[in-house]
Amino acid sequence: MLWRVFLAQVLTVIVGSTLSLLTIAATPDVTQLKFYQPAIDEHLSGGSATSLKSINRNSFSHASQNLKFDQELNFKVGNGMFRKIWVSAPASTKASDGLGPLFNAKSCQRCHLKDGRGHPPKANWPEDNAVSMLFQLSIPAQSQQEQAQLDSLEIPVIPEPTYGTQLQDFSIKGHKAEGNIQIKYEKVDVLLSDNELITLRKPNYNVVNLGYGPMHPDTLFSARVAPPMIGLGLLEMITEVDILTQADPDDLNNDGISGRPAWSRNRRTQDLQLGRFGWKAGQPTLDQQNQVAFNGDIGLSTPLQSAPSGDCTINQDVCLLAPSGDSVQYEDREVGQIMTDLVLFYTQNLAVPARRNVGDETVLAGKKLFYETGCVTCHKASYTTGSDDNKKALSNQKIWPYTDLLLHDMGEGLADNRSEGVASGREWRTPPLWGIGLTQIVNGHSQFLHDGRARGFLEAILWHGGEAHLTKQKVIEMTSIQRKSLITFLESL
C-alpha cells in the first residue's frame, strides 16, 4: 500500500516541478489576451453540454443539452432517485427504505436544494434547521497506529469515538438525534482603498443538545454547505495530466502559490487517485462522492459503503440494532448498484447554464481584472475534457469551470484546522465558479465559501488569505469601479 503513496507523491513532485518549469516559461502574457471581446463560445461554460434553457430558479436542474432524447429519460429517472424521499425500514417500498437511523436529510435534493448551493441556517435550532449544511467531525490521531493509517491515506480522518465523522441532526422514530449546530457570528472589519468599510461575519460554532453524551475533548469540526451540483461530470472528465501540470506543491516557481493534488483513496480499486470532489477534494470519483453522501448524510448502505446504519458507531449501539433496509434484490444493500448508477448518470449530466452578457463592456473589463489580478492562477479558466466512449456528451468539450481542482492554503481566517486526507486544516480545494452568478436566482441567496459565511462576492473575495493574500490585497486596493467590474464578471458566470 505504502509504495503507492510514495509513487504518487514522487509523481506529483516530478510532474509538479516539470510543470512549474513550463509555467515559468509559458506564463500567459495578459496583455496578449483579447479582453475587448469574448473568446469563441466562451458563453458555453460546459461546451456542447451547456444548458441553453431560459434562466430561472430551475436553471441548475437541466440535463446536458447534447444528451439524446432517450438518454434524457434516464436522467429524469436519476432525478427521481435524487429526489426520492427515504423512509425508515421496514416499509413496503423496499427501494425506498433504510433511512437513518441518524441522518442529515431524507433525500439528496433536500440538501442540494434546486441542485444548487446550500446555506447556513438563518437562525439557531429550533428556529431553523441546518438541513443544507453539515458538520464533519474527527479527532487527532491517538496512537502511532492511527497516525500511520492517516499517513498512508488508508482513512482520511480518525472519527470522533461516539459521533463518527459527521454530526447527524435528525433521527428516525425511537432514536436520538446527535445534536444541533449553533452559530454565533462575530464582526470583522475590512477597510477598502476608498475608505469603504466592509464588515465580514466570522462564524463560531458550537454543538448543543448532544444526544449521546459529551464529545471527545479534542474534537475537530468542519462546517460545510452543500455545493452546487452542476458540471460535476465535466470536472471528472478533465484529464489528470491537465490538473497535475498546474500543481506546484513546493512552490518551485516562487509565485507564493503551491497547488497540491489531493491524493485520496479510491474505495473500489484501493488505489490512490487524484481527489476532485468535496470542499477538500477528498473524493476521487463522483460515484464515490455520491455513495459517501448516501451513507453519511441519509444513513444508507451502498455498494461501496456497506453499513446500513450509516455513521452510527459502536458507542451508539441502539443505532446499530435498528432494522435495516438491506434488500436481497439490491445485493443486500439499501441502495443497490442500479440506483447508484442512476444517480451517477444524473449527477454527471446536470448541465452548467450558459453565461449571460459575455460581450458586455463591464463584464469584459471585470474579466481583464480577474486575469491581471491573478485570480485566474487558481481559478483556472478553461480546459478541454478527455474522451470516454461511455460519456460522449461530456467528451472533448471546451469547458470554463474556473478551478484548478488543487488544494491551496487559504490562511488562518478560512482555516477549519481539521485535516482531511492530504489536505491540511488551512487548505481548501479551489471551487469551480461556473454558474455562481445564478446562485441568487436558483437558491435565493448569495452566501458563498465552504460554510456560507460570505454574503456576496466581495465578502467571499475578502476572506481569501494565505496563498491568495496578495491577490486579495490587489482587490482591496482597486477603485470601487474596478471592483464593481470584477463582480459583474463573476455575476456573468
Using an 8 Å Cβ cutoff, are 283 and 276 in contact? yes
173 binds other proteins (CB under 8 A): yes
Residue 60: alpha-carbon gap to chain centroid? 15
Half-sphere exposure of 387 (CA within 13 A, CB side): 2
Task: Confirm or reject binding of residue 126 to other proteins (CB under 8 A).
Answer: yes
Query: Binding of other proteins at residue 459 (CB under 8 A)?
Result: no
Q: Does 338 bind other proteins (CB under 8 A)?
A: yes
Query: In whole angstroms, what is the distance from residue 244 CA to residue 432 CA?
Result: 17
Residue number with CB closer to other proteins (101 or 228): 101
Q: Is 206 in the site for other proteins (CB under 8 A)?
A: no
* Sequence-ordered alpha helix ranges (H) in 175-283: 232-236, 240-244
Query: Of these, 60, 135, 163, 170, which contacts other proteins (CB under 8 A)?
Result: 170
Considering the complex, state which of residue 130 and residue 475 has its C-beta at the smaller distance from other proteins: 130
Scanning 145-153, 251-259, 329-337, 476-484 for contacts with other proteins by CB under 8 A, the matching segment is 329-337
Binds other proteins (CB under 8 A): choice among 8, 89, 229, 237: 89
Q: How far is the CB of 110 from other proteins (least distance, A)?
A: 6
Residue 196: other Cβ atoms inside 10 A: 12
**Contact with other proteins (CB under 8 A): which of 8, 44, 60, 110?**
110
Give me the residue label for grid cell 447534447. Answer: 66
Helix (H, G, I), strand (E, B) or coil at 447: strand
Question: Binders of other proteins among 17-56, rule CB under 8 A?
Answer: 51-54, 56
Only one residue has cell 483513496, namely 265
Q: How far apart are CA 392 and CA 409, in angstroms?
A: 36
Instruction: Round to whole Å and give the CA distance between 194 and 206.
Output: 37
Do the Cβ atoms of 108 and 115 come closer than 8 Å? Answer: no
Residue 175 near residue 461, CB atoms below 8 Å: no
Nearest to 80 by CA among 65, 66, 93: 93
Helices (H), 260-396: 286-293, 317-321, 337-348, 361-373, 375-378
By CB under 8 A, name the one of 26, 32, 174, 389 that touches other proteins. 174
Told to check if 72 binds other proteins by CB under 8 A, we report: yes
Residue selected from 30, 85, 123, 470 as contacting other proteins according to rule CB under 8 A: 85
Output the smallest distance, CB 62 to other proteins, in A. 5
The CB-of-97 to other proteins minimum distance in angstroms stands at 8
Q: Does 92 bind other proteins (CB under 8 A)?
A: yes
**Residues that bind other proteins in the complex, under the rule CB under 8 A:** 51-54, 56, 58, 62-63, 65, 67-70, 72-77, 79-81, 83-85, 87-97, 106-107, 110, 126, 129, 131, 169-177, 179-180, 209, 211, 318, 321-324, 326, 329-330, 336, 338-339, 342, 351
